[in-house]
């Protein structure tokens, strides 16, 4: 009996992710509300979806501690981890090449104009080859540990630049692991 070759489930998942990648930035967080917010969401919360203010910030370059102090001065109700997540995101991703263009956007379009954050990058890249739960959500690593995951041959193929890798690692260090109970049953294993 002759059998047809099967396409591996990893290949099928990778193809599916690749087919929707252009929409990944917009849709990355749909169904992922259980995960802690990343920098794109937090910047809007901390700075009130204000295109003028966010354009001003997007032109600046600051160290993480300077961003953290600025974030804490906003009066936004952020936890310590959220404030550190946002400060790291801003220090790694700003200044933007054309910050003035943000002034022309409606508040709803601001998030899409900002660089992908750690949550976006995890959702877009960590599901196509392994379980999101056991391969990402439950790992407890420091930033160096997360950075080292990209040294593995199978992770070198992920299309992320150095800033994105650092953004991912910073977010993951602060926000992972999630406890079993924080992850909805449909996302476990």
pLDDT tens for residues 28-55?
A: 467 889 899 999 999 999 999 999 999 9
Q: pTM of the predicted model, to two decimals? A: 0.80
pLDDT digits (tens, 9 = 90+) for 76-122: 999 999 999 999 999 999 999 999 999 999 888 898 999 999 999 98
3-state secondary structure of 20: helix
* pLDDT reading at 18 higher than 80: no
pLDDT bucket at 17, cuts 50 / 70 / 90 = very low
Distance CA(38)–CA(127), nearest Å, equals 17
């Amino acid at each position: 009996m002759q059998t047809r070759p099967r396409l591996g489930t990893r290949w099928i998942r990778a193809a599916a992710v690749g087919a929707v990648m252009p929409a990944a930035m917009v849709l990355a967080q749909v169904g992922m509300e259980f995960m802690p917010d990343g920098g794109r969401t937090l910047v809007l919360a901390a700075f009130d979806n204000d295109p003028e203010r966010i354009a001003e910030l997007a032109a600046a370059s600051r160290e993480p501690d300077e961003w953290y102090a600025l974030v804490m001065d906003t009066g936004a109700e952020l936890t310590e981890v959220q404030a550190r997540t946002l400060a790291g995101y801003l220090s790694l991703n700003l200044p933007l090449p054309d910050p003035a263009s943000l002034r022309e956007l409606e508040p709803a379009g601001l998030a899409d104009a900002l660089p992908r954050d750690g949550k976006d990058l995890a959702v877009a890249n960590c599901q196509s080859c392994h379980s999101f739960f056991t391969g990402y959500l439950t790992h407890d690593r420091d930033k160096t540990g997360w950075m080292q995951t990209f040294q593995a041959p199978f992770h070198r193929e992920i299309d992320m630049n150095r800033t994105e890798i650092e953004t991912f690692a910073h977010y993951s260090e602060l926000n992972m692991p999630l406890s079993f109970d924080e992850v909805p049953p449909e996302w476990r294993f």
